[in-house]
Amino acid sequence: MNKFRNDFPLFKAIDEQNSKDNNGLVYLDTAATAQRPYIVLNAMDHFYATQNANPLRGLYSLSERATKAYEDARETVAKFINAKENREIIFTRNSSESLNLVAYTWGLANVNKGDEIVVSIMEHHSNILPWQFVCQQKGAVLKFMYVDKDSGIIPESEFDKITDKTKIVACTHVSNVLGTTNPVKKIASIAHSHGAIMVVDGAQSTPHIKVDVQDLDADFFAMSGHKLCGPMGIGALYGKIALLEAMPPFLRGGEMIEYVTEDSATWAEVPHKFEAGTVSAGDAVGMAAAIRYIQSVGLDTITEHDNALAVRLIEGIKKIPHINIIGNKDGTRRCGIVTFTIDDVHPHDIATLLSDENIAIRAGHHCAQPLGAYLGVPSTARASLYFYNTEEEIDYLLSKLAQVRKWSGYKD
C-alpha cells in the first residue's frame, strides 16, 4: 500500500525530503480529517482555472460548464452510495449540517409532544444535539440505546426502545470512538415497522467500507468530504426523494426559489430547494475527485488494510502493560479506529508526548461526551488508521507507547 503515499503531497514531503517541518511525521488522525491527494487539489485548481463561474445562473457557456461540473459531482456522490437518483443528493458543508437539515425540516415538521426520538449512546455530538433541540422545541422524548461496554456493540434488547411512539431513529454507521459498525440495516427495518424514519451518520463509514443506502434502507444518510480525502467545507445529505419533496427548505435565499412576490415564495425543485445561495462548486468537484480516487484504490482493499493495521496495533498494545483498549479488542471490527487509555497518564499528555516523537493522534472526548460518561472514560487517546499508513508507522507508535509511562515519571 506504500505506493499510494506518493499521491499525497504531505507524505511525499515526509518520505522523500524528510523536511525539517515534517520530520518523520506519523499521521494517525484520519478519523478527524484525511489527507488530500494531488488529484483532489488538481481537480479544484482546474475548476477555478477553467470553469469558474456561478453555476445554475448564467446563460453563457462558462456558467454552463460550471453547472455541468457541479452536477457531475452530484452524480458521482449518488453512484458512490448507490442513491436511486441524483436528486436525492443535497450538497451541504459537512455531516453536521446534513443532520441539522433533517432536524430543522423533517424533525420540526413531524415530531410532536409525546413522540420519541431514539439514538445510540455512541453518537457524535452532531447526531445528538439536533435531536435534543427538536425534543426541546416539540416536547418529545430523547431515548438512548446503550452498548455493551466490552464489545462496543448495541445488544438487540436495546432495539426494544424503538416503539410506535418513535418518530426518528438516528444512529452512526461507524462510531468515531469505538470503531463499531452498527447494524443500521436491521435497525432501519425495526424503525420502519413502527412508522419511524431512519437517519444514518455515515461520516466514518464512507471512507472505510462500501455503502449502499438502498440496501441499508436509510431514509437519510449524512457524509463529509474531508474524511474521504476531499476538501473541508463540503458534505452531502442523501434523502429519499419522496421525503425531500415533502420537506420545507432549510435555508432561504438565492437560487432555492421558483418565484418570489412581495409576500410569498414558491420553492425550486429538489435538490436545489435545499442549496440556497452560491454553491461551493469547487469543493463539490474536489469531493467527487476524492471519491473517484478512493474507488481507484478500492474500498475492499482499504477495509482489508485498515483491519490489518488495527490488528497489528491492538495485538501490540496487549503486550504493553498499563494500556487499556476501549471497546472491542478485535481489530477487524474497528474500521481502523483504536481508542485507548494509559494508567495514570492523561490522554492529553499522551498526545503531547507522542507529538514530541512526531506522532499525530487525537486525545479528548472526540465529540462524544455521553459515550465517555457512560463508559467511565471522559477522555481517551485515539489512533485512526487509513490506507496510506504503514506497518512501520504502527511499529514506531508501539515503541513509543511503551515509553509513555516512563516519560511521565513512572518506573513500571
Grid cell at residue 347: 490522554
Beta bridge partners of 65: none
Q: 197-228 in b/e burial notation, b at 16+ Cβ within 10 A?
A: bbbbbbbbbbbbbebebeebbbbbbbbbbbbb
Pairing of strands 26-27, 166-172: unpaired
Catalytic annotation on 135?
Answer: no
Grid cell at residue 184: 443500521
312, 391 Cβ separation under 8 angstroms: yes
3-state class (DSSP) for residue 204: coil
State which amino acid sits at residue 395.
D
Kindly tell me the number of DSSP H helices and DSSP E strands found in the chain: 15, 15
Nearest to 201 by CA among 230, 296, 326, 216: 216
Give the span between the Cα atoms of 375 and 175, in whole angstroms: 14
Backbone angles phi, psi at 384, to 5 degrees: -120, 130
Helix (H) or strand (E) holding 91: strand 89-92
Task: Please list, in sequence order, all residues whose beta carbon lies within 8 angstroms of the beta carbon of residue 411, skipping any fewer than 6 positions away.
Answer: none
Task: Report how far apart, in Å, the C-alpha atoms of 248 and of each of 58, 235, 252, 391 are.
Answer: 26, 20, 10, 49
Q: DSSP secondary-structure letter at 2?
A: G
223, 248 Cβ separation under 8 angstroms: no
Give the span between the Cα atoms of 129 and 56, in whole angstroms: 33
DSSP structure string for 298-314: -HHHHHHHHHHHHHHHH
- For cell 437560487, the residue is 255
Backbone angles phi, psi at 378, to 5 degrees: -65, -20
Alpha helices in 141-265 (DSSP H): 184-193, 213-216, 241-246
Beta bridge partners of 238: 89, 221
- Work out the number of other CB atoms within 10 angstroms of the CB of residue 20: 6
Radius of gyration of the chain (CA): 22
Residues identified as active-site? 367
